[in-house]
């Protein structure tokens, strides 16, 4: 038996053993995912990921990717989460070819906000800190017909924002391009990203909101300005409303 298949089967047994039918039903409803659930607690999944990593040395990245690929394409939510947890702890070993062949296409198979956000923040977003070319790929994701891929174009910025708070290539353009979206998860994501940016760089967050102007939804503006002082928010809203009246 292949090592990756043997370990994937062992991991499934561990997750089944830690599962709970009631928790599985709650998690599936909360995540709004079509995947099956074992009902294993998240801390258990994270602990299992660390345990599995002891079986590989850093130079065995190819073998590890085969295991992650097997876990990713499992019908069980927690098994894919396990794959994300493994990648999160070994993403510094991934090369450009592996990003293109595996990690980017996997976005297309995601069916819930839970996996999307975890994958973008713990894996792709951390890769982007050392390789900003990821933000060029994010421009392509903006045009995807798949909701979660478009959301990825925003969430992938969060680790860099949290680490630097500095102006980030393409963020303003991506927010402007997605500003008119009607999907709740996109509008919410724009506001979330800009709120985190405003915590570190108020001026840039305000400039992006002004560029979005009247295209920005009320949800986006509320999320983005939630922590800003009234002295900043009121003039910003006045400018956005003035632009809206001018266009109207």
**According to the model, what pLDDT value does residue 245 have?**
57
Q: Hey, where are the domains in the chain? A: 1-93, 107-248
Work out the mean pLDDT of the chain and round it to a whole number: 90
**According to the model, what pLDDT value does residue 229 have?**
87
Q: Look at residue 86 and tell me whether its pLDDT is greater than 70.
A: yes
Domain boundaries 1-93, CATH class: mainly alpha
pLDDT band at 70 (very low <50, low <70, confident <90, very high): very high
Q: How far apart are the C-alpha atoms of 86 and 52, rounded to whole Å?
A: 8
C-alpha distances in Å from residue 222, one per residue of 45, 116, 188, 195 = 34, 23, 9, 9
139-170 per-position pLDDT tens digit: 999 999 999 999 999 999 999 999 987 768 89
Q: Look at residue 4 and tell me whether its pLDDT is greater than 90.
A: no
**According to the model, what pLDDT value does residue 60 have?**
57
Calculate mean pLDDT across residues 11-35: 95
Calculate mean pLDDT across residues 92-105: 81
Q: How far apart are the C-alpha atoms of 19 and 48, rounded to whole Å?
A: 13
Calculate mean pLDDT across residues 167-195: 93
Q: Look at residue 244 and tell me whether its pLDDT is greater than 90.
A: no
Contacts of 59 (CB under 8 A, 6+ apart): none
**According to the model, what pLDDT value does residue 227 have?**
87
Q: Please give the full DSSP string across 4-70, using - where no structure is assigned.
A: HHHHHHHHHHHHHHT--HHHHHHHHHHHT--SB-----HHHHHHHHHHHHTTS-GGGHHHHHHHHHH
Alpha-carbon torsion (57, 60, 66, 68), positive or negative = positive
**According to the model, what pLDDT value does residue 168 have?**
80
What does DSSP assign to residue 228? S
186-214 per-position pLDDT tens digit: 999 999 999 999 999 999 999 999 989 88
Other CB atoms within 10 A of residue 162 CB: 15
What are the residues facing 36 on neighbouring strands?
A: 76
Domain boundaries 107-248, CATH class: mainly alpha
CA 180 to chain centre: 20
C-alpha distances in Å from residue 157, one per residue of 28, 125, 126 = 27, 6, 9
């Amino acid at each position: 038996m292949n090592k990756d298949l043997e370990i994937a089967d062992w991991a499934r047994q561990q997750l089944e053993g830690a599962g709970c039918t009631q928790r599985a039903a709650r998690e599936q409803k909360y995540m709004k995912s079509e995947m099956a659930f074992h009902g294993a607690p998240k801390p258990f999944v994270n602990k299992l990921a660390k345990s599995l990593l002891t079986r590989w040395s850093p130079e065995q990245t190819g073998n590890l990717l085969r295991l992650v690929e097997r876990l990713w394409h499992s019908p069980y939510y927690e098994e894919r989460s396990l794959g994300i947890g493994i990648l999160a702890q070994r993403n510094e070993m991934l090369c450009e070819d592996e990003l293109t062949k595996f990690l980017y296409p996997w976005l297309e198979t995601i069916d819930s906000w839970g996996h999307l956000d975890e994958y973008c923040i713990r894996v792709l977003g951390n890769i982007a800190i050392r390789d900003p070319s990821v933000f060029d790929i994010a421009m392509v994701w903006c045009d995807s017909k798949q909701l979660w891929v478009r959301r990825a174009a925003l969430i992938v910025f969060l680790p860099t924002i949290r680490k630097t708070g500095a102006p980030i290539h393409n963020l303003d353009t991506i927010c402007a391009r997605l500003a008119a979206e009607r999907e709740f998860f996109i509008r919410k994501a724009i506001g979330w990203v800009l709120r985190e940016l405003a915590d570190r760089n108020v001026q840039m967050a305000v400039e992006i909101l002004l560029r979005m102007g009247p295209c920005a939804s009320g949800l986006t503006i509320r999320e983005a300005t939630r922590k800003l002082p009234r002295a900043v928010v009121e003039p910003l809203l006045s400018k956005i409303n003035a632009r809206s009246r001018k266009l109207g």
